Structure formats: C-alpha cells, structure tokens
Structure 1
Amino acid sequence: MRYELTDLRLFQAIADAQSLSGGASATHITASAASYRLKNLEHAMGTPLFVRNARGMELTPAGETLLVHVRELLLGVERMHGEVGRFSAGLKGHIRLLANSSSLNGFIIPSVSRFLAANPDVNIDLEERASQAILTAVAAHEADIGILAGDFDTTGVRSVRYAVDELILAVAADHPLAREAEVRFGASLAFDFVCMSRTSSNFLFLRDMAQRAGKSPNVRLHAHSFDAVLSLAEAGVGVALVPRSVAAAALREARVVGVRLAEPWALRELNLIVRADGKLPGFAAAFVQFLLNDPRVAATREGGAVAATAP
C-alpha cells in the first residue's frame, strides 16, 4: 500500500469540492495529474473512493470512512507543524473559521484584523454560515473554529462562552416605533423591513421568528451589508433587525434609534466551538485565545451586551 501525503490532500480537496477539477485546482496540480493520483490512491486502498455522476464526484462508503481518517491525519500534521513552528519565527498556518452574521460583523472582524496584522504567516478562511451549519461543519472536522448563537447540542464539539449581544430594531428618528422603548416582535411586523441578503443567517433568523409569530415580514429591500441596512433604516425605508454591537456607532451618532425587543430570544449568547477533543495546531489555539481575550468581547461576558455597547 503506497501513497503520499499529497494524494491524501488531493483526496480531501476533491471530496470538499465534489469535483476532480475543483480538487486539482485547490491543490495546484493539473486535472490529468489529479486523475492519476486518485487512481493510484484507489488502487492502494483496493476499492473505489468516488462515484462519478452528473452531479460530480460523490464519496463511496469506503471514501466516507477514509475522509474521516484523512481529516484527522492532516489536522495532526498541521498541528505538528504548528507545535514545531513555535520554535522558529512566529506563528504559521491556515485556520478555517465559520461564524454567524451577528458575531462576524459585531465582534470578529476587528479581532481578526489585529491578529493577522500581528501574525503575517497565518491565513484565515472566514465564512458566514447559519448556526446549525457551523455546528455540523466543526463536528465533522470541516472547520477549525465556529462561533454561533443560540442553544445547540454539544455532541461532537467543545463549547466556550464567547460574547453576549442583543438583537434590536433600528429605525429612523421619525419612525412610529422610535417613540417606543420596547416592543413585541410580532407588533413590529406591521411595518416594512429592510434586511440582509436572503441567504444570510440574520435574515433566515428574522424569517423564522416571524413564522413563529404566524406572520411574514414585508421586506422592501435586501442589502449585502449591515452598513447598508442601517443606512436604509436611517433613511426611513424600513425597520432593521440588527445586533446592538453592529449598530453601536449608528446609535452613538444618533443616525438611528434602537428599540428593544420584548422577546427572550433577543438577548443572544454567542459561543465559540472547536472539535470535541479540543486539539488544535498551536497557531489556531493562539487565535482562539486572541478571540476570547479581545477586551471588547470580554466586556460583554462581564457586563452584558447592553452595558458594553450602549451609546
């Protein structure tokens, strides 16, 4: 049974891309070379690892079993390099971080910026996903770190409290809701909304909460950033459901008015998760501590989101 670490990296890349050409591109080799290496790996394993069909490359049961071991093996190799790399100059490595929109826009981006500036040999693949998708990906070893909101089953992951935030309604100063200190979410659905994109975790959460209230939000416009959503709310186009951390600057500058929601789900506890065994390369473990120790983030755990980000 002869194969190389390169073959295993290629196998994982093909599985992730569900495409031979996609896997080849991710590992920087030609499609013909990728095909040759995959055939060599299948020959060494004595069984097909993929089924080729119109949808692309799908793992066989043997391939799914191998993928679990390959992820474990490659993570161990990366962890080995990280541990040894600490004896050379600085941290080196690649981290995959998944986060929901609230944590991503409210807390993570500033922390990531400072960490990358201080560690030029570390790269971070940062992606927004819904909380349940983040949980699944980290448990399956498809991501190193996840930050998500709400209650969840911790099977397959290790969780630590990351930050506390609050969902509020951002409205224009002359909006009827601006006179209210607090409202029920169902009552706010009588007004037009402006929202993040249809695929964003923020909008999907808003839609789900509206369905629980037996209503459907009238969305006048979907925007691709919280800054755009807040600008639209400021202009009176509609109501925006946003994290207080994201709206903090707009609230301080009185560009919008923040209206609290009389809902138990409005107070959002954000949790940081890693795989159940907690094993991370040295550079990734250092990044986790950097995220947790960010003073602005830590302040929300101590004093609560409202005290930490109030205008």
Structure 2
Amino acid sequence: MRYELTDLRLFQAIAQAQSLSNGAAAVHITASAASYRLKNLEHALGTPLFVRSARGMELTPAGETLLVHVRELLLGVERMHGEVGRFSSGLRGHIKLLANSSSLNGFIIPSVSRFLSAHPEVNIDLEERASEAILAAVAAQEADIGILAAAVDTPGVRASRYAVDELILAVPPGHPLLRLPGLAAGIRFGAALGFDFVCMSRASSNYLFLREMAQREGRSPNVRLHAHGFEAVLALVEAGVGLALVPRSVAAEALAQVRVGAVPLAEPWARRELSLMVRADGRLPAFTAAFAQFLLDDPRVAATRDAPAASTPA
C-alpha cells in the first residue's frame, strides 16, 4: 500500500470542493496530475473513493470513512509541525478562520492585521459565512476557528465568549426615527420596515439575517441597493439613500463623526453575543492556539465582555 501525504491532501481537497479540478487547484497541481494521484490512491486502498454525478465528485461510503481519518491525520501532522516549530524562531503555519459579518467587520480585521505583522510565517484563510454554517464547519473540522453570533451547544466544539455587540439601525442625520419619543429604549424592527434600506450583498450573512427578521414580521424589506462592504453601506446611509441594519462596532467611527445616526432596536436579537469556537478536544497546533488566544485577548474585544450575558442569542 503506497501513497503519500500529498495524495491524502488532494483527496481531502477534492472532497471539500466536490470537484477534481478545483481540488487540484487547491493543492497547486494540474488536473491531470490530480487524476493520476487519485487513481493511485484508490488502487492502493483497493476501493473507489468517489463517484461522478451531476453535482460533481461525491464520496462513496469508503470515501466518507477515509475522509474522517484523513482530517485527523493531517491535523496531527499540522500539530506536529506546530509543536516542533516552538523550538525554532517564531510561529509557522496556516489557519482557516470563519466568521460572520458582524464579528469580521467589527472586531476581527484589526486583530488579524496585528497578528500577521507579528508572525510573518503564519498565513490565515479568512472567510465570511453565516453563523449556522460556521458551527457546522468547525464541528466537521473543516475550519480551525469559528467566530459567530449563536448559541453553541454542539458536540465536538468548545466555545469561549468572544465579544458583545449590538445591531442598530444606521439612519441619515435628521431622519424622522431619530425624533421619536423614548428613542433611548429602542424601537421595534417592524416600525422601520416602512422605510427604504441599503444592504450588504445578497450572499452576506448580514443581509440574510435582515431578510429573516423582516420575514418574521410578515414583511419584505425594500432594498434600494446592495453594496459590497459596510463602509459603502454607511456612505449610502449618510447620503440619504436608505437605512441599514449594522453592528454598532462597525458604525462606531461614522457615529462619532455624526455622519449617520443610531436608532437602537428593542428586539432581543439586536444584542449580539459573539462566541469563538475551536475543536472540543483542544488538540490545536501551537500557532492556531496562539492565534485563538490573541483574538480573545485583544483589549478592544475584551472590553466588550464586561457587559452582562444576553438571555437570547442572535
């Protein structure tokens, strides 16, 4: 039985991409070389690992079993390099971090920038996903760290309280909602759905959450424009194009400069309890564990945790 770690990494990449060509690209080899290596691996193991279907490459039962062991094996190899790497100068390795839009844009980017500057031999694959998808990915060991706004009670993952944030309505200065009596106590979200909105892209977790909350009210938001970043969304709000549902942390600078106004929401889901998740067994490479702790120890992030825990997660 002869095969190499490269074959196993390729197998995992094809399984995740459900595509031979995309899997080959992920490990930086040609599709023809990937096909040869996959056939060699199947021959060595004596069983087919994939079947081709209209949806792409699908794992056979033998492939599903192998994938569980390959993930564990490759994580073990990464841990080995991480532990040995502690005896050399600095941290080395690759980390996959998944985050929802609130944590990504409100807290994570500055932390990641400082960590990468301090550790030039570490690379981070940072991707935005919806909270439910992040939870599933960490539990399935498809990501090293996940940060999300959701209750975490899932076998296979360990959660730490990361940060506390608040969803608000960003509105143009002088907007009628800013003149409502008792505004400090917040308004119900349904009261804002009669106004136009500007939103993040249709695939963003921020927009999908807004749409879901509107559907709970039996409404559909009138979205005048989808933008590809919170900075653009806030600029559109400032220009009077519409309202936006954004985390207070993201809007902090625009609020301080009075470019937009903040309307608090009297909704239990407006408070965002953000959790940082890793594998429950704690067997992380040294550089991954160091990065997770760095995220938790960021002073700006840690300061938000002084607020009491929310009773209803978002």
If the TM-score is normalised by the length of the shorter chain, which range does it land in?
A: over 0.9
Cα deviation digits, residues 167-190 of structure 1 (max 9, x gap): 001101121112132211011111
The answer on 1:216 being equivalent to 2:224 is no
Structure 2 distance, partners of 1:26, 1:199, is: 23
Structure 1 distance, partners of 2:208, 2:3, is: 44
Q: Under a length normalisation based on structure 1, what TM-score does the superposition of the two structures give?
A: 0.95
State, as a whole percentage, how many aligned pairs show the same letter. 81
Counterpart among 170, 179, 190 of residue 194 in structure 2: 190
Moved more, 155-164 or 50-59: 50-59
Q: Under a length normalisation based on structure 2, what TM-score does the superposition of the two structures give?
A: 0.95
Per the TM alignment, residue 287 of structure 1 is displaced from its structure 2 partner at its CA by: 0.1
Aligned to 1:261: 265
Cα deviation digits, residues 244-302 of structure 1 (max 9, x gap): 00000001000011110011111110000112212110000000000000000000001
Moved more, 104-113 or 204-213: 204-213
Aligned to 1:75: 75
CA contact (8 A) 2:166 2:272 kept: yes
| Structure 2 counterparts to residues 104-143 of structure 1, below 5 A | 104-143=104-143
CA contact (8 A) 2:139 2:154 kept: no
How many residue pairs end up in the alignment?
A: 305
CA contact (8 A) 1:49 1:62 kept: yes
- Show structure 1 runs of 5+ residues with no match: 306-311
- Show structure 2 runs of 5+ residues with no match: 310-314
Per the TM alignment, residue 303 of structure 1 is displaced from its structure 2 partner at its CA by: 4.1
Cα deviation digits, residues 192-234 of structure 1 (max 9, x gap): 1111111100011111111111111111111110011111111
Structure 1 distance, partners of 2:192, 2:30, is: 55
Change in CA separation of 1:137 and 1:91 when aligned onto 2, cut-off 3 Å: same
Aligned to 1:93: 93
Aligned to 1:162: 162
Per the TM alignment, residue 154 of structure 1 is displaced from its structure 2 partner at its CA by: 2.1
CA contact (8 A) 1:172 1:178 kept: no
CA contact (8 A) 2:111 2:298 kept: yes
| Structure 2 counterparts to residues 143-182 of structure 1, below 5 A | 143-180=143-180, 181=183, 182=186
* RMSD, aligned CA: 1.3
Structure 2 distance, partners of 1:133, 1:166, is: 21
Per the TM alignment, residue 304 of structure 1 is displaced from its structure 2 partner at its CA by: 6.6
